[in-house]
Every structure is written in structure tokens, then in C-alpha cells.
Structure 1
Amino acid sequence: MSILVLIISCTIAAYLLGSIPTAIWYGEAYFGFDIRKHGSGNAGATNTFRVLGKRAGTIVLLIDAIKGWIATSLALMIYYGHLIEWSECQNLKLLFGFAAVLGHIFPVFSNFKGGKGVATLLGMVMSVHPEAALVCMVIFFLVFISFHYVSLGAIIASLSFPILLLLKTFGKENDLVIVFGFILFLLILITHRKNVVRLFKGQENRIYLRPKKESV
């Protein structure tokens, strides 16, 4: 098998991994309904949290992140097979990770209507740059805990990734990773465009880790 055929095959595999509609299959298997017909209508972890609860939401979040990590890490298989150099491995991680995120947003297994790509993107970033991913996770939780908006936390965290690399927070970085970081931020911004409108209008739904106490 030529290296080009192998790369194409891995790209397709990454897309198919990303296409696994975790929220939809989990909702149908354990609750007997399509998550897209409830809550916000989105087939992602946030809507699963909102509709099915913390346990279901956490499971969907973890699986979506893991599928992004596995898809991105397919590049390591080619690298450890001594077929490419490390710099090429990093570039292929971006390609495979991007394919997985697109698969999550436009999944072939559910009529190309999926989630917004945040959890799968997290898995991708964990594979590409674990240190930056951890900082972005902290930023997400700080924003979420402060304002209780998942969408705002996801947008700011996704923007933080390329900015951290651009500022050389972790040392000199691959320019292509920085460029892809901004492209992925724009993708997240596009998938959250309705959330952005609701945020500006003050109509975005808040999510609380603990139920709000009712006033007496």
C-alpha cells in the first residue's frame, strides 16, 4: 500500500470515527428517543446534559472526545511505521483531526446532522497539543462557572488554543498548527452562530452544575 493510499484511507476512517452519533445512539438505546427532537435539537453533549442529565451528558462528552483523539492519533500509526517524519506526523494529525470534527458536525450515519464539534475538537487538540488542551479546558471551566454559558466557554476556549500557540506560551510552535487553530475556531463560531445571536440578545440558556435554589 502506497503512503498516499494509506493517508486517504486514514482520512476516511477519521471522518467515519467522527461521524459516530454518540448522543443519538445513546439516547435511542437507553431512553428510547431521538435527542434531536428534544431540547435544542442538537445531537451533542450539551443538549444531552440538558435533556438526559449529567451522567448521560458526561458519557457522550467523553466518547465524543475519545473518538476525536483516536482519529487524530491515526497519524502516529503511520509515524511509528517509519513511513513519515515527525513534522509530517503533526501535519497529518491536523488533517485527520479536522476530518473527525467534520464527521461529528456532518455525520454520515445520521443524515449529516450532528453536533457542534466541541468535544471532538477537544479530543483532537489533546492529541495535537496536550499542554494547550489542558489550559483551554481550564479556560472553558472558568468561563462556564462564571457565566453558566456552555457556548461562550466553548467559543472562548477554542479561540484560546491558537492564541496560546501564537504567543509561544509553550515555546516555538508549528505555524500550520496555529493556522489550523484559527480555522477550527471559525468552524466552532459558525456552528455556534445561533448561540452567539442569543448571547447578544440575552436569550441564551444557562446551565448550572447544581440546581438553583428556589427563593422562599
Structure 2
Amino acid sequence: MTSNPLTPAESTDLRQIVYNKIRDAIIMGIIKPGEKLSETELAQTLAVSRTPIREAIRQLAQTGIVRLVPRKGAFVTLPTEKDVNDLYEVRIALETIAVKRICKKGPKEELLRFREYFASVDHSTDPNAFLLQDTAFHSFLRNSCDNRFLNQFLMETYDLIQLYRHYSIKGVDLKESSMEHVRLIDAILEKDEERAIRLLQNHLEGARDALLAFLKDALPASEAD
């Protein structure tokens, strides 16, 4: 995993840097789901005033990563089962469009590099290393679709999904998940759009189910429902 982003912020574009640092800390699981964000503590940690912290928290609330509770403060979002189902419904629809476009003109060298990695994964692979490659691959699909609006919408759904992947990945068979990636890449390379879409949808439905299983086991019934 990369180094802790919660280090003093040094940049002329302070607001964006502070936003990125807090966002990355949440995505990486350093600030955990359900945890309260303390403006004072974050300002001290990042060596900035509370103003850019407050602005970053408001911006994060707009993306859905943070939830603002009146008179209580800001908390990292805890999803419900409906949230997960709704989020994956959107993700599957958008990534399906991305894969359809990539099948027509996907960058071959990049696809082959991902294929080589996923084909090498076994049960001894570090889950965090796998997660980084999985994230990179799906980001590649998003970035390669040549549609800036689709790219933006998918990027926002990825941020929310990544909140919980560090936890739900524990229940995933990395070897099987990697072979799903390999089969998907092969279908894209062969420009078999119908097969690629089917494989992508099955893969994402499995990821959704793993996340739902994690939430069911990890959260109180009142929060998971």
C-alpha cells in the first residue's frame, strides 16, 4: 500500500491538496467508514488552518464519500444494502458502455500488461497489491472509453466503491477473480463485444455480492439493512 497521505500539505493550491489527502486517506481505509472527521485534528495533522479542511469536507460530502449530520459533524459514509445495489447498478451500466467502446479500439499493449499480471496471481498474492491492480484496470477501462462524461460519472462511483474494497476483498478468491479479468481481457482483445459485456457484468455482480456479504457480517443489522 502507498504511504500515508495524512502528512503536512505543501502547495499553492492548498484546497485541492487538502481535499486529495483526506479523500485518499478515506479511500485507503486510514480514516474508516463511520468514523467522524475532526476539523481540528485534520488541521493539525496536515499543518493547515481549519478553513481548507472545512472546504474539503464539504466537497467530499458532495461526492457522497462523507455524510454531514446536523449538530453532530461529518462522518465517512456507511452504506446500506440499497446503496450498494443502486451503486453497482449504475457502475455496471456505465462500465458496460465503456467496454463496448474499448472493444472497438482498446489499447493492446496496456491490456496485455494487465493480462500478464492477472494471469500470475495465485493464493499467495498480497490482497493489497491485487487491489491496486484491480483498481488500475477498471480505471483504465474508464479512461480508455474516450467519453469524458462517462469517465467523470464512473470516477465518482469508484470513489464510493473503494471505501469498502479494502475490507470486502478479504472474502474474495483472488485467483478466481484474476481469471475473470483474464477472460474479460481476452474477449476485449478479440473484439468479442457480446462476450466481453457478459463477462464484465458477471464479474461486477460477484464484486457487488462480496461487498454485500461483508456489510452483512461487519455492520449492525440496523445499519446493513
Do Structure 1 and Structure 2 share a fold, with TM-score over 0.5? no
TM-score (norm 2): 0.30
Higher relative contact order (CA 8 A, sep 6+): 2
- More strand as a share of residues: 2
